[in-house]
Amino acid sequence: MSSASGFSGDETAPFFGFLGAAAALVFSCMGAAYGTAKSGVGVASMGVMRPELVMKSIVPVVMAGVLGIYALIIAVIISTGINPKAKSYYLFDGYAHLSSGLACGLAGLSAGMAIGIVGDAGVKYSLTYSSSSSCLQFIQQASTSTRIHSG
């Protein structure tokens, strides 16, 4: 299709492309918010019980916050790829950007949920065990529970 404005390609394709960019941002930021909130609960409980270990417990909060930055980068890459006046932008391109945005967003959502759950559990676990052996015991317990659930 070619119109008088110089646009070549499908006129609805940019909608799907920008929807992909929005999906990447929205879902990843939801995951980052959940991970930050859930890990923040663990950090708050750590601050009450053992204030000297608060800076070590802030790592999951930072990791969850980085997910939103990753999504912003993907959204900018998708948005700069949508320029129908410079080149033809067909429905295939719109669907490709939509699917890549959904993949990034849903991966960020699930990663944020995982970071929140593991960060909260890890911080609470380190409250009960000594700091020198807590990491090794937590990894052993996680691998044991993974073997039970997967096999």
- Do 59 and 52 touch, CB atoms closer than 8 A? no
Q: What is the DSSP letter of 89?
A: B
Beta bridge partners of 89: 9
- Do 117 and 39 touch, CB atoms closer than 8 A? no
* pLDDT the model gives residue 101: 97
- The SS3 of residue 2 is strand
Backbone torsions φ then ψ of 33, nearest 5 degrees? -65, -40
CA distances from 78 to 39, 64, 148 (A): 30, 22, 41
* pLDDT the model gives residue 2: 47
* Residue with token string 């920008």: 18
The second-level CATH assignment, the architecture, of 13-150 is Up-down Bundle (1.20)
- Do 81 and 17 touch, CB atoms closer than 8 A? yes
* pLDDT the model gives residue 151: 45
* pLDDT the model gives residue 1: 47
Q: pLDDT digit of tens for each residue in the chain (151 aa)?
A: 445 455 566 788 899 999 999 999 999 999 999 999 999 888 888 888 888 878 888 888 999 999 999 999 999 999 999 887 777 888 999 999 999 999 999 999 999 999 988 888 887 777 776 555 555 565 565 555 545 444 4
Backbone torsions φ then ψ of 3, nearest 5 degrees? -115, 180
d(CA 126, CA 26): 32
Going by C-alpha positions, the residue among 10, 18, 6 that lies closest to residue 82 is: 18
